[in-house]
Amino acid sequence: MSTKASVEMYLCAFHLGKWEADESVEDAYHRALDITPAQFQRLRGHDNGALREKHADAIHRMYEAAGVNPKTATESEKASLRTRLMNEARKAGMRFPA
């Protein structure tokens, strides 16, 4: 998994990790993945595959919670949902990476 923060990481932090404006996105992202910061660092350093799996699972849960099955949704439906989720996060004060 890339060390650069992705839009999906921010979306998971907001929608699954219940991000609050006074905390770091990373803390909320760890909650979304249901791991501690130390576990995140270990997974990132030793077992990147397991971290990718946790990330993919979190995105899947987020999409399902929003009413879309990512396995059967069209690319257009996924793009529309992503835009809607980003707009909700922006309204709450989240700023996405460039």
Domain of 20, in residue numbers: 7-91
Residue 98 lies in a domain: no
Contacts of 91 (CB under 8 A, 6+ apart): none
Residue 55 lies in a domain: yes
For the chain, percent of residues with pLDDT exceeding 90:
74
Residue 51 lies in a domain: yes
Residue 97 lies in a domain: no
Residue 1 lies in a domain: no
Residue 66 lies in a domain: yes
Residue 67 lies in a domain: yes
pLDDT in tens, 25-41: 999 999 999 999 999 98
Residue 2 lies in a domain: no
Separation between Cα atoms, residue 71 and residue 45, nearest integer Å: 29
Q: In the predicted model, what is the mean pLDDT of the chain?
A: 90
**pLDDT confidence of residue 89:** 96
Domain count across the chain: 1
Which pair of tokens denotes residue 16? 């699954």
